[in-house]
A and B are shown apart, each in its own frame.
Chain A
Amino acid sequence: MAAIEILDLEKSYLVGFWRKRQKLALRPLRLTIEEGEVFGFLGPNGAGKTTTLKLLMGLVFPTAGTARILGKNLDDPEVKSQVGFLPEQPYFYDHLSARELLNYYGQLSGMPAKGRSARVEQMLARVGLSDSAGLQLRKFSKGMLQRVGLAQAILHDPKLVFLDEPMSGLDPMGRREVRDLIQQLRNEGKTVFFSTHILSDAEALCDRVGIIHQGELRGVGAVADLTSETRGKVEIIFYSQTVPVGLTSLGAEARVSGDMVNAVVPEEQQDAALEVLRRERLRLISLTPVRSSLEEYYIQKLQPAEAGDDARADDSRDKENRKGAGV
């Protein structure tokens, strides 16, 4: 079953003094996320990521279209008990301690009193806040608040977790812990939909990514496909303090780094390049095909619409992915 089915969801706001001018925040969005999937929603600031999440959480209302979460309509109150949400830069009731806050959210989520306290302690431990559990949140740092946010999002053991910029405000250690947490959620069979503009996080964690820009979904793809495609070039690394002349004549782009050379040559010149190394008696370290990166895909999709349209026309792989995504 699909965890999320977004069916032409659209949002525009009336702006200006007389509220007559329409500002489009999200163009009709059609997207399907399967259960158990970790989906990364990528895009620059102001692209429409948070608007999409707010629409799915019922915090703003769509201008057109609808969505189904875990097979139920958005306005079905049952949906919320199976969903967890971490807003971007979360702010909580700072008169409460972390323990009190989680207990309050547990009550609102309909968690039975029996076992709630134990679950709260378990969540505090999971995000590394056991020692500060009794401290009022007004004394928490930004990173600690983000951890509280993560704890409240998974407190009631939801099937589906929405995370809006979960790595925001975290130090490298904290980011790593969040990555581990998302991995654990995946292992537990949860569906995770998270927005980010940090591509390395998406590449490391996501099964699929969607690129959104200026309120428009520009592309959807499986990360494994995007990063496995070779680009007709190979990277050869070998021991040498100079670039052999024979290699340069093959059209290699080479740079020397200490006593190693890193050279990129066209795939059809691979054998000839190796022959040069053999002839010069140079020791080979590695030879790997140059693969596409998520960053390249991202940048390609963020190009102006006309260029993007041309790219889409040529991109059969992307079409296949979009079919799979129901786009």
Chain B
Amino acid sequence: MNSRIGYIAFNTFREAVRDRVLYNLIAFALLLSGAAILVGEISIDIERLVVVNLGLTAVSLFGVVIAIFIGIGLVSKEIDKRTLYTVLSRPVRRWEFVVGKFFGLTGTLVVNTFFMALGVFLALLYVAHKFEKMDGWVLVALYFIVLQFLMVCALALFFSSFSTPLMSAVFTFALFVIGSLAEDLRGFARITHGLAGWIATAVAYVVPNFSALNVISQVAHGDAVPGRLILYNSVYALLYSTMAISGAVLIFQRRNLK
């Protein structure tokens, strides 16, 4: 990796840590330990199902909220505060800045997810008293959640390259919700004909397919995740994120900093 991108990414990570973004882990830990104790008291035979479902959904939601709310400010905050001036007056290309900020935030989310994943496994151990082979699929679900974060960060960055932080948050969140229903949208497109069918198909394939990345329910039931899905989802998330970041770079390259 280009060293300047690495320096910018590290500074972004350091800023998130010092701005106490990782404090969300405390809320997460409280939620999960409370849930584990409660589930252990009231559930019979479905403790694992509840803990995996609740834990992974919380990991996803906490991360998406962080991705959106930090992602929308990654570039716009630097323009508003003019911290960008002294960075771009150095031999730093604008695309390096955008990519560095993206890696910084995704790095923060990966670290955050790592600690949350530890919490999920500890809660699992608490309710089930031992790990089983099928618990390995939880790792795959966590990997998909990280892919989801990559896409959400990239979209937040893309919208913030031309829009206000508030509108960027609205657009990104709306796309996250629509994308989580992408499979239903594709089903709807298949049964619709004519112009409406065309539009539904176009929308279904343009919006990010977050539903394909959601295997929480599957792994909670101990079902395996096909290797082909892991490959497809990895390629899809990387391509989608690259396209969104490229869009952000193209817009930012031409932007006048006021």
Residues of A in contact with B (beta carbons under 8 Å apart): 13, 54, 57-61, 77-78, 80-81, 83-85, 87, 89-93, 95-96, 104-105, 107-110, 149, 152, 156, 162
- Asked whether B90 is an interface residue with its Cβ less than 8 Å from the other chain, the reply is yes
By a CB distance below 8 angstroms, the chain A residues around B87 are 105, 108
Cβ contact within 8 Å between B90 and A80: yes
What mask results when residues 1 to 39 of chain B are scored 1 for a CB within 8 Å of chain A, else 0?
001100110010011001100000000000000000000
By a CB distance below 8 angstroms, the chain B residues around A78 are 91
Cβ contact within 8 Å between A80 and B7: no
Cross-interface CB contact of B89 among A85, A104, A107, cutoff 8 Å: A85
A-B contact pairs, 12 of them (CB 8 A): A54-B257, A57-B89, A80-B92, A84-B89, A89-B82, A90-B82, A92-B83, A92-B86, A93-B15, A105-B90, A107-B4, A108-B91
Q: How far is the CB of A185 from chain B (nearest CB, A)?
A: 17
A54: nearest chain-B partner, CB-CB: B257
Apart from A81-B91, A91-B83, A95-B19, what 19 extra A-B contacts exist at CB < 8 Å?
A57-B85, A59-B85, A59-B88, A59-B89, A59-B256, A77-B91, A77-B93, A80-B90, A85-B86, A87-B85, A87-B86, A89-B82, A91-B82, A92-B83, A93-B15, A96-B14, A108-B92, A109-B90, A149-B86
By a CB distance below 8 angstroms, the chain B residues around A105 are 86-87, 90
Q: How far is the CB of B29 from chain A (nearest CB, A)?
A: 24
User: 9 closest pairs, A vs B, by CB?
Assistant: A85-B89, A95-B18, A60-B256, A80-B91, A87-B85, A59-B257, A108-B90, A107-B7, A81-B91
Cβ contact within 8 Å between B256 and A61: yes
By a CB distance below 8 angstroms, the chain B residues around A96 are 11, 14
With A59-B88, A83-B89 as contacts: A108 and B83 at CB distance below 8 Å: no
Q: How far is the CB of B71 from chain A (nearest CB, A)?
A: 18
By a CB distance below 8 angstroms, the chain B residues around A77 are 91, 93
Task: Give CA–CA (A81, B8) in the complex, Å.
Answer: 17
Interface residue tally for chain B (C-beta within 8 Å)? 26
By a CB distance below 8 angstroms, the chain A residues around B19 are 95
- Asked whether B81 is an interface residue with its Cβ less than 8 Å from the other chain, the reply is yes
Cross-interface CB contact of B86 among A54, A61, A152, cutoff 8 Å: A152
With A61-B254, A80-B90, A108-B90 as contacts: A85 and B85 at CB distance below 8 Å: yes
Cβ contact within 8 Å between A95 and B90: no
By a CB distance below 8 angstroms, the chain B residues around A80 are 89-92
Cβ contact within 8 Å between B90 and A104: no
By a CB distance below 8 angstroms, the chain A residues around B14 are 95-96
By a CB distance below 8 angstroms, the chain B residues around A58 are 88-89
Cβ contact within 8 Å between A91 and B91: no
Task: Give CA–CA (A60, B256) in the complex, Å.
Answer: 4
Task: Give CA–CA (A89, B92) in the complex, Å.
Answer: 22
Main secondary structure of the interface of B (DSSP, over half): helix
Q: Which of B141-189 contact A (CB under 8 A)?
A: none
By a CB distance below 8 angstroms, the chain A residues around B82 are 87, 89-91
Task: Give CA–CA (A60, B11) in the complex, Å.
Answer: 24
Cβ contact within 8 Å between A90 and B256: no
With A61-B254, A81-B91, A108-B90 as contacts: A93 and B7 at CB distance below 8 Å: no
B94: nearest chain-A partner, CB-CB: A58
By a CB distance below 8 angstroms, the chain A residues around B84 are 59
By a CB distance below 8 angstroms, the chain A residues around B93 are 77
Interface centre among B7, B88, B91, B258, by most chain A C-beta atoms within 10 angstroms, is B91
Q: How far is the CB of A283 from chain B (nearest CB, A)?
A: 58
Task: Give CA–CA (A92, B84) in the complex, Å.
Answer: 9
Q: How far is the CB of B8 from chain A (nearest CB, A)?
A: 8
Task: Give CA–CA (A152, B8) in the complex, Å.
Answer: 16
Q: Which of B58-86 contact A (CB under 8 A)?
A: 81-86
B18: nearest chain-A partner, CB-CB: A95
By a CB distance below 8 angstroms, the chain B residues around A91 are 81-83
A76: nearest chain-B partner, CB-CB: B91
Q: Which of B89-122 contact A (CB under 8 A)?
A: 89-93
Cross-interface CB contact of A104 among B11, B81, B88, cutoff 8 Å: B11
Interface centre among B7, B14, B85, by most chain A C-beta atoms within 10 angstroms, is B85
By a CB distance below 8 angstroms, the chain A residues around B89 are 57-59, 80, 83-85, 87, 162
Q: How far is the CB of A146 from chain B (nearest CB, A)?
A: 13
Task: Give CA–CA (A156, B7) in the complex, Å.
Answer: 17
By a CB distance below 8 angstroms, the chain A residues around B8 are 108
Q: How far is the CB of A53 from chain B (nearest CB, A)?
A: 10
Q: How far is the CB of B147 from chain A (nearest CB, A)?
A: 28
Task: Give CA–CA (A60, B3) in the complex, Å.
Answer: 25
B86: nearest chain-A partner, CB-CB: A152
Q: How far is the CB of B177 from chain A (nearest CB, A)?
A: 30
With A93-B83, A95-B14, A107-B7 as contacts: A57 and B91 at CB distance below 8 Å: no
With A61-B254, A95-B14, A95-B15 as contacts: A109 and B83 at CB distance below 8 Å: no
